[in-house]
Structure 1
Amino acid sequence: MTQRFITLPSSGTYSLVNLRLHRSHLEKTGGFSFDRDGFALAAIDISAGAITAIEPAGQRADNPEAIDCRGSIAFPGFVDCHTHIDKGHIWDRNPNLDGSFAGALTAVGEDREAYWSAEDVEQRMEFSLQCAYAHGTKALRTHLDSVPPQEDISWPVFETIRDRWKGRIELQAACLFGIDQAQDEVWFNRLANLVARHRGILGAVTYMVPDLDKLLDRMFVKAMDLGLDLDFHADETDDVNAISLDRIADAALRHCFEGKILVGHCCSLARQPDDAVKATLDKVARVGLSVVSLPMCNMYLQDRRTDATTPRWRGVTLLHEMAARGINTCVASDNTRDPFYAYGDLDVLEVYREATRILHFDHPVGAWPATIAANPARAMGLADAGTLKAGSTADLVLFRGRSLTELLSRPESRRTLIRSGKLIDATVPDYQDLDDLMEP
């Protein structure tokens, strides 16, 4: 068990005092004294697995039985809205030796064809969720490769996994295929019905195929017919001509789509002229799209060169410009130890730490901590996640760090996890648990 710096009473009723909470994580902020980074000292009352009250420090009489958190920062349980746990942890048996996007596609395709049985996918997904849970994740959306015949393997596995993890991690899944495959209307309709039966999200990778608008229309119409939300991978490239984010926003306007739409990557937007950026973002804001950037994976893949030259750009999208327009912005883990990203551990704190450095989520900190909590919860349609409020489930991640610079300067491997008001084990699984899958 990971060493903790607090203990909780067996009664399940207690108060955490001298705790630092961020403005962007609180439903109500009145009366709190926030510092320049948006943190304020607070007390949280917990009973029967739920938060019963949150108050500013100093508004109650001293209680010798209260648990002193010594000024430590606490976040709500993490919400990771864009991952690929069906691909996770295959690097050791099928690496991407040149680190390129094309190399990743090839390596994953070869691995999927050779190894992705129900047993293989289930074991790797289980390992991934154990990692996420041990780091403090409360809700997670994964994409599932859904090219034939994989959809008939991975979706039933996902349903089994979701049932197994109920009450620990709220799981969602979106199908993933190249948008041009939707030209096969019979296959596409079958896939959409499969996704609907498994209570999933309709998703695809968009790129600039000649009939992109027609294929997007097909997806929007089917999503409306089946009552599904939409999730797209868009413009994961430095090609200035990749404008499928703009086309997705147009499609949402054409169809007056009322469901939720989450769009990931949008890397090429940062390469486009200012007038084109403004026009696209105005539409994205108008239709209420959510956007998630994947800073670690996109820095790893984008602008990777094979001629021994240094990459020239960061590969992330324009989150500051989006946030200024009121667009719901998120950051997430994306791939983990697979050909698209050789590293990672589904640790959302690591994602936020790297996003702060890569995307300048500081000076000022503003509301950027919401990109791993309230914002992805909104994108996923989750009511009891991402925000600390009276009546919500008592799911907290307590850190040793007392300020932003303390929090983000170390891995915080000794964080304390509270789920439904109880301490849980924060021990990640051992990589040796996957050794049997890595044998040739």
Structure 2
Amino acid sequence: MDLIIRNAKLRKQKDPVDIGIREGKIAAVETKIEAQGTKEIDVGGKLVTPPFIDPHLHLDAVLSVGDPRYNMSGTLLEGIQIWGERKPGLTKEIIKKNAIEAIKWEVANGTLKIRTHADVCDPRLITVEALLEVKEEVKEIADLQVVAFPQDGVYAYKNGDKLMEEALKMGADVVGGIPHNELTREDGVKSIEYVFELAKKYDRLIDVHCDETGDDQSRFIEVMAKYTIINEMQGLVTASHTTSMHNFNNDYAFKLIGILKRAEMNMITNPFDNSVLQNRTDGYPRRRGHTRVDEMSARGVNVSIGHDSIMDPWYPLGKGSMLQAANLLLHMAHLSGYDQIYQLYDMITDNSAKTLNIQEKYGIEAGKPADMIVLNASDEMDAIRLMSECLYVIKNGRIVASTQPAKSEVTLHGVCEHIDFLIKK
């Protein structure tokens, strides 16, 4: 064995196991591996899981907050305006530098699989070119999927449809869209039809920004579900955001969720951006700016969590932590039920693997790629509660990141005690 992880606590298993790795693959998962490894790590019962997945990120915009100005209203529309002001001065070098730095942040936090959107509404298509180059340059630490994303609209932007197709010819992995940003509902529907046409033509997955608004009349999600069914693309289509669903009347939402399940659509919620950008015009009381995570999950719809933005015109904070995103969604979506907390962990691991259509190569099983993380936690609840550090991040059997946890001590009555924020049993 090249590497053996000893005394690993796996999800949904009571007793610790050893994980043996050889030539970048998981060779064995056993109660006790008798062989010796070239390198061994005894994790002492810490939680070991497949890596986190970020299924929704905008690497072309990361780390650009304040350039050329700050989003003072905090709205989605002002963020789009600022991005439009920044685009003419963008260079491939700037995009790549910021994207690679943000990827390193995500890797340090345990994320090894990322789906990034690349804005195609620029005749130069430098975002696509840059992120495809980044995909190749970072492959030893992270796997990327690149989405051809029409930020300004397929038809609301001149030659947007042609730029979409050109991005796919360049090598983009996924077809994107943004129907609610088209000039009319008719154009929005037309753009969805075009997205499916391209996906079929180039054999690509689909991931559309859909109904990212508080407007309860924005219902492009039903159009996406229809075309998923009639094109027999169940499991291959994703709708991101769908925040308008929060404001739908409940009878319609109930019917819709049944259709989403029939279509086997993947849904991505983005708690950082959705929590600050949506329902800005509400006054008080303010509705929550996220989709119906609990209702969809309860009815078997695949829901995953994306980071979306890291310090850009739409969201000024963030450090690339999917545990932080899950923690925020727990609060925003009323997901504090015991079982729901563990489901949140699914939303940043297994559910996202299904969204990216990489289930066959994901998981801690013999024969699969040796991609895994060791968390400074004993279970998923503590990982989310503490937003635990990733002690080790392993890709293809190689340690690509490690973290030394902060050490906290409190002195009471002259006695110094180490504080680990765990309940003493």
Compute the TM-score of the two structures, normalised by the length of structure 1. 0.82
How many Å separate the matches in 2 of 1:186 and 1:103?
23
Give, in angstroms, the shift of residue 311 of structure 1.
Answer: 6.4
Higher mean alpha-carbon deviation, 351-360 vs 373-382, is at: 351-360
Q: What corresponds to 1:49 in structure 2?
A: 24
1:2-401 → structure 2 map (5 Å cutoff): 12-17=2-7, 19-23=8-12, 32-33=13-14, 41-55=16-30, 59-60=31-32, 67-93=41-67, 94-113=69-88, 115-150=89-124, 152-177=125-150, 180-182=153-155, 187-207=160-180, 209-211=184-186, 212-257=188-233, 260-304=236-280, 312-359=286-333, 360=335, 362-364=337-339, 365-383=341-359, 385-401=361-377
Give, in angstroms, the shift of residue 338 of structure 1.
Answer: 0.6
Residue by residue over 1:273-313, the C-alpha shift from the partner in whole angstroms, topping out at 9 and shown as x without a partner, is: 1211122111111111100100111101112359xx66623
Q: Residues 328 and 158 of structure 1: is their aligned pair in 2 closer, same or farther, counting only changes over 3 Å? A: same
Q: Residues 380 and 194 of structure 1: is their aligned pair in 2 closer, same or farther, counting only changes over 3 Å? A: same
Residue by residue over 1:75-101, the C-alpha shift from the partner in whole angstroms, topping out at 9 and shown as x without a partner, is: 211111100010111113221112112
Higher mean alpha-carbon deviation, 83-92 vs 252-261, is at: 252-261
Give, in angstroms, the shift of residue 325 of structure 1.
Answer: 2.5
How many Å separate the matches in 2 of 1:136 and 1:155?
25
How many Å separate the matches in 2 of 1:95 and 1:112?
15
Q: Is the 8 A contact 2:177 2:192 kept in 1?
A: no
Higher mean alpha-carbon deviation, 347-356 vs 175-184, is at: 175-184
Residue by residue over 1:253-288, the C-alpha shift from the partner in whole angstroms, topping out at 9 and shown as x without a partner, is: 343346711110011111111211122111111111
Unaligned runs of 5+ in 2: 405-425
Q: What corresponds to 2:423 in structure 1?
A: none
Q: Is the 8 A contact 1:72 1:402 kept in 2?
A: yes
Secondary structure, in 3 states, of the residue corresponding to 1:157?
helix
Q: Residues 63 and 121 of structure 1: is their aligned pair in 2 closer, same or farther, counting only changes over 3 Å? A: closer
Q: Is the 8 A contact 1:82 1:332 kept in 2?
A: yes
Q: Residues 184 and 177 of structure 1: is their aligned pair in 2 closer, same or farther, counting only changes over 3 Å? A: closer
Secondary structure, in 3 states, of the residue corresponding to 2:121?
coil
Q: Is the 8 A contact 2:155 2:191 kept in 1?
A: yes
Residue by residue over 1:135-176, the C-alpha shift from the partner in whole angstroms, topping out at 9 and shown as x without a partner, is: 2211101111111225x2112212211111123211111122
Secondary structure, in 3 states, of the residue corresponding to 1:54?
strand
Q: Residues 402 and 237 of structure 1: is their aligned pair in 2 closer, same or farther, counting only changes over 3 Å? A: same
How many Å separate the matches in 2 of 1:260 and 1:420?
26
How many Å separate the matches in 1 of 2:92 and 2:320?
22
Q: Residues 386 and 270 of structure 1: is their aligned pair in 2 closer, same or farther, counting only changes over 3 Å? A: farther
The one-letter code of the counterpart of 1:202 is V
Give, in angstroms, the shift of residue 423 of structure 1.
Answer: 2.4
Higher mean alpha-carbon deviation, 378-387 vs 245-254, is at: 378-387
Residue by residue over 1:97-116, the C-alpha shift from the partner in whole angstroms, topping out at 9 and shown as x without a partner, is: 12112221111111122x21
Compute the TM-score of the two structures, normalised by the length of structure 2. 0.85
Q: Is the 8 A contact 1:262 1:290 kept in 2?
A: yes
The one-letter code of the counterpart of 1:95 is Y
Q: Residues 86 and 179 of structure 1: is their aligned pair in 2 closer, same or farther, counting only changes over 3 Å? A: closer
